[in-house]
Structure 1
Amino acid sequence: MAAESSVERIAALEAENAALRRQLSGVHARTARQLRGIADALPVMISFLDRDERFVFANKAYEPWFGLPLDQIIGRRLSEVMPAEEYARRAPFVHRALAGETLRYEQDFRHPTGLRRTIIHNIPQVVEDHVVGVYAMVQDITDQWHALEAARESEIRFRRIADSAPVPIWVTASDRTREFVNEAYCAFLGLTFDEALRFDWRTILHVEDQERILAESVAGEASRQAFTLEARYRRGDGEWRWVRSISQPRFDGDGMPEGFIGVATDITAAKNAEREALDRARELQASVDRRTLERDRLWSLSTDAFAVCDLNGVWLSASPAWTTILGWSTSQLLGRTSAWMVHPDDRAATEQASKNLLAGLPQRAFSHRLRSADGGYRIISWSAVPEGDRVYCIGRDVTIERERADAMRQVEDALRQSQKMEALGQLTGGVAHDFNNLLTPILGTLDLLLARSPAGERQTRLLDGALQSALRAKTLVQRLLAYSRRQPLEAKPTALKPLLEGLGDLLRSTIGPTITIEADLADNLPPAMVDANQIEMAVLNLVVNARDAMPAGGRIQISLSAHDQTERGQDVSPGQYLMLAVADEGTGMDAETLARAAEPFFSTKASGAGTGLGLSMVHGLVGQLGGALRIHSEVGKGTRIEMLLPVSGQSPDTAVRGDGEVAAGDALTILLVDDEPLVRANTAAMLAELHHQVVDCGSGPEAIKLLEAGLSPDLLVTDQVMPQMSGVELVTAARQRRPTLPALIISGYPQGDEPRLVVGRLAKPFGVRDLAAAMARLPVPGVAGGVGTREG
């Protein structure tokens, strides 16, 4: 019985154990299925190889990589499921893992879709100090690897681009340290790459800029926006340079700041060229900055004015800048359109712009004039954008810019006009000089013919007519020279009031009975430094022009007054002047005619009624005297021409001018030098007519040879403009040999300063009496009254 009982217990235990094994087998199967499910769901390849490199376990991630179903992978060797070249690269690492080494390495794998990059972990399984197999985990990192390679290539390209840039470039980290600098940055500092990375740029910042730049740098970094700095830095060679730097913030993927990228530009040349303008701009900017700090942050970040309107143009809100620009308070601007402020001439354009906005069209760079509280107008440039039922507007006051632009255009126009007039002056001066050389023998010959043996009445009349024509040609040349500012002037302190009063009868006889002259001549005026003869001619020209502008008659007013020029004008320097003005009530001139009024040969008169040189002569004369000519004219109302004449600090010359005979004197030996044969021959004939002995030659060097050969003349008469040696140079050379030799220089127009020893001057063209008078004014030792003439 005891034995049966033991057997029964053993049988029961076996049954219980079998049930337990079945239960454990089910649990194991379930756990294995769960683990398999987890492994197959992982995005990485997981496997276990035994010591024969045979797959004992592998998840489904292997199937697409080997191109085989899982049941054809499990139980096979690694070399059997992997291409031979792939296995050859993988085997050394597997062997090392089977030797007990834990490995992590990257390796390419030829996937059916292409080459892939993987990270492989090989972990040996050790049982009782023996490696029984290797766990492998393979992760596909192709996308990450490509991204990393792209980033590396991008960095390389960035470095190449940055190093090829001619301006310094740098990259900072969030702690302000330099992560990168380009070659231009290193060159500016004179440092190597590593030295430049560690260099503290503040040590080369100009002491006057340090506080400002450091504050602006801190503020710019805190703003997380791009900011610009301008300061002086000491370059590696020790020279101070103005540099403009622009720093652009960098952010990571979460929007956190990583530092800045900076670019610098050397602006030294621009700073030096624009120092004055920048000083004014700095003062203006300082004023703007002070106002900006006092205004509301939203509306006052800029000096521009902001406004919000509805689609009908009614102002709903306005920034305080409008009050600054126009003077109107905000309450005066809101609740109505701007039509009440718009300049009448700009209303049509403003209405069209409003229609465009209503149609949804943005308006940019539209400008018009708005009336300000002081009654004037400001030019406002608008940018307006409609959005929904609102129009958002920014207005900028460009009045000063427009005025400056207009002023610049006026200066440019004046410069072009001045250059044109100068060119014309040079041309007319040259023509007049050559013309004088032609007129001199003509006028001299006619003068000699009339002075010699008496001719018949008809011959005398013909000669006299020819002489009058020559004299008119001489007057024309004088006007050309006056325009070109090359006419010979004898400026002396002159009382203008008596001079003008003495012209009264001549002027009245010139203008005729239908025109009256009114004179308003101030008393107690200082003398003017002028050439009296030329002023008389200028006044006569202006009066004749005024007469011609009033064919039906009228009134001419001549006025003389003091004028204090306190500021430098476009045409005159500050100082004391007399203003001599001639005004008429005639037809006047339009803007185009007024712009050309002083040009030579320009005339609005009928053909043959004038030379077109009268006003240009006055213009040239006044300029040559150091004054200015101003013309005011309006069509239908008349013209007023003002001559500003410089005041003299000396007493006026009260000597009476006359044309009396010159006292007779002894015959002289005269050395005559002129390169023009006709002029030389004619001048010699006139000197012979005056009973002087003449030795003539055609150049300065020839004259010097005659003096060195022993010629001892009483007087040297020479042309000024000659090749090889000018008249002034000849006189200087002659007086080195004959210090007391008197000299008379003849010229078409003066060519620079003459030495003090040259006491005589005669302008071409001239006649016998002109030559005799010029010689009479020369001091010649032993001859009373100068170089005289003898009556034959």
Structure 2
Amino acid sequence: MEVLNRHDTSLDEEGRFRLLVDAITDYAIYMLSPEGIVTSWNSGAQRFKGYKPPEILGEHFSRFYLEEDRAAGLPARALATAAEHGRFEGEGWRQRKDGSRFWAHVIIDPIRRPSGELIGYAKITRDLTERRAAEQAIRQSEEQFRRLVQGVSDYAIYMLDPTGNVSSWNFGAERIKGYRPQEIIGTHFSTFYTAEDREAGLPETALGIARAEGRFEREGWRVRKDGTRFWASIVIDAIRDEEGNVLGFAKITRDITEKMETQRALEQAREELFQSQKMEAIGQLTGGIAHDFNNLLMAVLGSLEILKKRMPQDLSLTSLVDNAMQGAQRGAALTQRMLAFSRRQELHVEPIDVSGLVRGMMDMLSRSLGPLTAIETSFPVRLPTILTDPNQLEMAILNLVVNARDAMPSGGRIVLRASEESLPSGKIPLPPGRYVRIAVIDEGEGMDAKTLEQAITPFFTTKGVGKGTGLGLSMVQGLASQSGGRLMMKSSLGEGTTVELWFPVASVEQTTEAAADRPRQEENATPRLRIVAVDDDGLVLMNTTLMLEDLGHTVFEAMAGPEALDILRKEQVDLVICDHAMPRMTGAQLAQAIRSEWPDMPIILATGYAEIPEGAGIVDLPRLGKPFSQAQLAEAISRIAS
């Protein structure tokens, strides 16, 4: 009786176990015979394989395999592996009753008697089709992202581990920084920093900020594998797990050197445009003032010149008139120098004795320097002749001396030196030959290499906003270049500056040609002429008339263009001298009107502007700059009347 109860209890446990297995629907759990015949079938097997127990019990389990797998002997190998090693586990495609496929995870365990005899197999199959699809989607997404990152060439995109070592490397990083993946992975990212930034601890600071704030973003110099530098935009983002622990850093670097240089060039262009507009405005203003100022000087100089001729020869009175004339002439020279700073003047080349020119400038240079600065000169007894514009050369030397004075705010010594140099081929960028070198040497603060390189650049100045135009050295360089020479500068911080002007020595033929080009004044060669003088300024007109009449000419006065045309229609006229800047009708317009009726009428255009007035039909007109002397007036008439 007791044995029977124990047997009933055992049957109950087996029943409950069968109920448990049969209730599982997510796993196919069934038994196989040693030959692979299905001997049991649970509801999970029926659910995703599609067979009811009567349809599958007694059938070989190989029918769940694909035809190509059966042909390859996979079912038999699975059973053999389970029997030999005690377990078979794998994944692969399986086939449902309706022919559809699913991705299965399969476990086959052998069932043995205590004696070791094989009596069958326990087989568990799970449908992982959805999970596999999800994993494939994730892998595909990761692969696409990897290809995307790897394919980016304009950005260096790579990962750092928590200590800052490089753990991945894309193509953009290789292109920008020059390292191949095998050369840099595992190396600390501080390799890309400059030595001074590493010493300052910037790499550690960057990771510290990214770790604390989640992100670090800066711009700065970085170093490529070949040692060259580039200006980089850097972003470092911290990568954290779900608990907030830092797993590493994502780092993006972009080479923006070209962008920075473009921006810098744009800013420089804007500054140069501003300076250019400022200088254009100053030039226009100065031109207008120069016209009026020259008209005033014209009246003063003309009157003084006639007065000197007609007054008694009293030395005390004559000296006073001479002083007044010299003052007016200095005012005219000052006007020309003012205009030279706002535009480029045409060179009037002449043979020049540099020693004589500088000696004649010494009073003006001394007055320009002030009491704190001393100037010394060092010139040989004889210097060869050079060919350039003497007025422009004076202005260039004055400019260089004033610059030297400004470099010594507390005062000091300036040396003005000239010498003859024989230049061999290749020494400096000038043709070999003989040159005159004019040097201005100061004891000032000097310039570093970068400032020295930019010193001759137009609009560059170290004198501060509003204290310099930045055109002085550019104009000096232009004068030297136009004359076949060159401007050169030597300077270093704390050791002063030497500025040198090199001019080629003039040959005998050049000197003869230049002398021949200079106008010759022929005494008493000009016949008596009937001249129309036109000027809207009564003072200038009166002085012009007085000088012309004193020269023996007959003068008809007109204060406007239409009046001059009326005179020409009524009188026999040999020459017209007209101002350019007049209301109603300018000198250019009057010249056009005269040429249309009297094509052969000689015309001299007098102007107080420094530049040649623009206008159709007047480009070939002789020009007489105001203020002019009686001798200059006579010379202009002689040239046009001969």
Structure-1-length-normalised TM-score? 0.49
Cross-structure match for 1:378: 230
Residues of 2 paired with 1:409 and 1:757: CA distance?
Answer: 39
Query: Share of identical aligned residues, percent?
Result: 27
Residue from 515, 520, 536 that aligns with 1:655: 515
Question: Which string of whole-angstrom CA distances, capped at 9 and with x for unpartnered residues, describes residues 408-452 of structure 1?
Answer: 222222222212211211111121122111211011112222222
Residues of 1 paired with 2:211 and 2:619: CA distance?
Answer: 84
Q: 1:631 to 1:438 in 2, by over 3 A?
A: farther
Cross-structure match for 1:667: 528
Q: Aligned with 1:359: secondary structure?
A: helix
Q: Aligned with 2:514: secondary structure?
A: coil
Q: Aligned with 1:299: secondary structure?
A: helix
Query: How far 1:618 sits from its partner (Å)?
Result: 4.3
Cross-structure match for 2:293: 435
Cross-structure match for 2:11: none
Residue from 600, 603, 606 that aligns with 1:740: 600
Cross-structure match for 2:190: 339
Cross-structure match for 2:625: 763
Q: Aligned with 1:395: secondary structure?
A: strand
Residues of 2 paired with 1:438 and 1:616: CA distance?
Answer: 32
Cross-structure match for 1:574: none
Question: Which string of whole-angstrom CA distances, capped at 9 and with x for unpartnered residues, describes residues 457-512 of structure 1?
Answer: 4433332222222111101111122233386x4645x67xx665764655789879
Question: Which string of whole-angstrom CA distances, capped at 9 and with x for unpartnered residues, describes residues 159-204 of structure 1?
Answer: xxxxxxxxxxxxxxxxxxxxxxxxxxxxxxxxxxxxxxxxxxxxxx
1:729 aligns with 2:581: no
Cross-structure match for 1:139: none
Query: How far 1:349 sits from its partner (Å)?
Result: 4.7
1:361 aligns with 2:219: no
Q: Aligned with 1:389: secondary structure?
A: strand
Q: Aligned with 1:762: secondary structure?
A: strand
1:716 aligns with 2:576: yes
Tell me, yes or no, if the aligned pair for 1:440 and 1:766 is still in contact at 8 Å: yes
Tell me, yes or no, if the aligned pair for 1:598 and 1:619 is still in contact at 8 Å: no
Alignment of 1:672-691 (within 5 A): 672-691=533-552
Residue from 297, 307, 312 that aligns with 2:163: 312
AA of the residue aligned to 2:214:
L
Tell me, yes or no, if the aligned pair for 1:450 and 1:460 is still in contact at 8 Å: yes
Query: How far 1:603 sits from its partner (Å)?
Result: 5.8
1:466 aligns with 2:324: yes
Structure-2-length-normalised TM-score? 0.59
Residues of 2 paired with 1:341 and 1:617: CA distance?
Answer: 41
Query: How far 1:540 sits from its partner (Å)?
Result: 3.1
Cross-structure match for 2:273: 415
Alignment of 1:540-555 (within 5 A): 540-545=397-402, 548=405, 552-553=412-413, 555=415
Alignment of 1:239-278 (within 5 A): none
Q: 1:400 to 1:731 in 2, by over 3 A?
A: closer
Alignment of 1:181-260 (within 5 A): none
Residue from 623, 636, 641 that aligns with 1:774: 636
Q: 1:483 to 1:554 in 2, by over 3 A?
A: closer
Residues of 2 paired with 1:621 and 1:421: CA distance?
Answer: 17
AA of the residue aligned to 2:185:
L
Cross-structure match for 1:477: 335
Q: Aligned with 1:459: secondary structure?
A: helix
Tell me, yes or no, if the aligned pair for 2:149 and 2:170 is still in contact at 8 Å: no
Q: 1:686 to 1:411 in 2, by over 3 A?
A: same
Tell me, yes or no, if the aligned pair for 1:479 and 1:617 is still in contact at 8 Å: no
Residues of 1 paired with 2:329 and 2:399: CA distance?
Answer: 21
AA of the residue aligned to 1:465:
N
Question: Which string of whole-angstrom CA distances, capped at 9 and with x for unpartnered residues, describes residues 268-318 of structure 1?
Answer: xxxxxxxxxxxxxxxxxxxxxxxxx9x966523453112222233222333
AA of the residue aligned to 1:670:
I
Residues of 2 paired with 1:671 and 1:752: CA distance?
Answer: 23
Residues of 2 paired with 1:712 and 1:457: CA distance?
Answer: 43
Q: 1:399 to 1:738 in 2, by over 3 A?
A: closer
Residues of 1 paired with 2:538 and 2:315: CA distance?
Answer: 32
Query: How far 1:554 sits from its partner (Å)?
Result: 5.4
Q: 1:774 to 1:645 in 2, by over 3 A?
A: farther
Q: 1:425 to 1:598 in 2, by over 3 A?
A: farther
Q: Mean Cα displacement is larger for which, 625-634 or 401-410? A: 625-634
AA of the residue aligned to 2:514:
T
Residues of 2 paired with 1:726 and 1:390: CA distance?
Answer: 80
Residue from 551, 562, 566 that aligns with 1:705: 566
Tell me, yes or no, if the aligned pair for 1:356 and 1:362 is still in contact at 8 Å: yes
Tell me, yes or no, if the aligned pair for 2:376 and 2:414 is still in contact at 8 Å: yes
Q: Aligned with 2:231: secondary structure?
A: strand
Question: Which string of whole-angstrom CA distances, capped at 9 and with x for unpartnered residues, describes residues 559-610 of structure 1?
Answer: 999999xxxxxxxxxxxxx999855344257779975759999768xxxxxx
Query: How far 1:720 sits from its partner (Å)?
Result: 1.2
Tell me, yes or no, if the aligned pair for 1:760 and 1:775 is still in contact at 8 Å: no
Query: How far 1:377 sits from its partner (Å)?
Result: 0.8
Alignment of 1:515-526 (within 5 A): 515=376
Residues of 2 paired with 1:704 and 1:397: CA distance?
Answer: 71
Q: Aligned with 1:339: secondary structure?
A: helix
AA of the residue aligned to 2:397:
L
Residues of 2 paired with 1:599 and 1:623: CA distance?
Answer: 23
Long gaps (5+) in structure 1? 1-253, 256-292, 565-577, 605-611, 781-785, 787-792
Q: Aligned with 2:318: secondary structure?
A: helix
Residues of 2 paired with 1:774 and 1:600: CA distance?
Answer: 45
Cross-structure match for 1:152: none
Tell me, yes or no, if the aligned pair for 1:541 and 1:614 is still in contact at 8 Å: no
Question: Which string of whole-angstrom CA distances, capped at 9 and with x for unpartnered residues, describes residues 511-539 of structure 1?
Answer: 799645589xx99x9x98x6x23333233
Tell me, yes or no, if the aligned pair for 1:309 and 1:316 is still in contact at 8 Å: yes
Q: 1:579 to 1:482 in 2, by over 3 A?
A: farther
Question: Which string of whole-angstrom CA distances, capped at 9 and with x for unpartnered residues, describes residues 367-414 of structure 1?
Answer: 222212332212222222112321121221222211222122222222
Residues of 2 paired with 1:315 and 1:437: CA distance?
Answer: 78
Long gaps (5+) in structure 2? 1-132, 135-143, 240-245, 367-373, 427-434
Query: How far 1:667 sits from its partner (Å)?
Result: 2.6
Question: Which string of whole-angstrom CA distances, capped at 9 and with x for unpartnered residues, describes residues 604-643 of structure 1?
Answer: 8xxxxxxx99949947985998999989776545456688
Question: Which string of whole-angstrom CA distances, capped at 9 and with x for unpartnered residues, describes residues 739-759 of structure 1?
Answer: 332221100122115747955
1:534 aligns with 2:391: yes
Q: 1:393 to 1:427 in 2, by over 3 A?
A: same
AA of the residue aligned to 2:177:
L
Tell me, yes or no, if the aligned pair for 1:508 and 1:517 is still in contact at 8 Å: no
Query: How far 1:672 sits from its partner (Å)?
Result: 0.7
Question: Which string of whole-angstrom CA distances, capped at 9 and with x for unpartnered residues, describes residues 49-91 of structure 1?
Answer: xxxxxxxxxxxxxxxxxxxxxxxxxxxxxxxxxxxxxxxxxxx
Query: How far 1:356 sits from its partner (Å)?
Result: 1.0
CA RMSD in angstroms comes to 4.9
For CA contacts below 8 A with separation 6 or more, give which structure has more relative contact order.
2
Tell me, yes or no, if the aligned pair for 1:379 and 1:399 is still in contact at 8 Å: yes
Question: Which string of whole-angstrom CA distances, capped at 9 and with x for unpartnered residues, describes residues 128-156 of structure 1?
Answer: xxxxxxxxxxxxxxxxxxxxxxxxxxxxx
Alignment of 1:393-408 (within 5 A): 393-408=251-266
Q: 1:386 to 1:677 in 2, by over 3 A?
A: same
